[in-house]
Amino acid sequence: MAGCATSGRNYQPDIDSMNSRISSMQGQLSSKDQEITRLQDQLSQQQSALSQSEADKRALNDRLDSAESQLRTASQTQQAAPSKKEESDLK
């Protein structure tokens, strides 16, 4: 029975030290969670801005395509007009 007896060592300082470390780590974890949330919000805002920029780019490309098409049509009309005039002069 004597072998089962405790040595009387006081574990309270070890327990207090562990509790202190746990509290410190919980504080660090909370800080990291806040940082992650902030970064996720920032990422979301940047993704929204990117989506808007891509939509604006598509709209500008559509306008450019339309302007180029109108320019080609006007150019073709202008090139065709003098040849019609020359034909009418010959008749």
Report pLDDT digits (tens) over 43-65. Answer: 999 999 999 999 999 999 999 99
In a 3-state reduction of DSSP, which class is residue 1?
coil
| Percent of the chain whose predicted confidence (pLDDT) is above 90 | 71
Q: What percent of the chain has pLDDT over 70?
A: 81
Q: How far apart are CA 67 and CA 64, in angstroms?
A: 5
HSE-CB at 25 with a 13 A cutoff on CA atoms is 6
82-89 mean pLDDT:
57
Distance CA 9, CA 28 (A): 32
pLDDT at residue 89 in the model: 58
In this prediction, residue 1 carries a pLDDT of 46
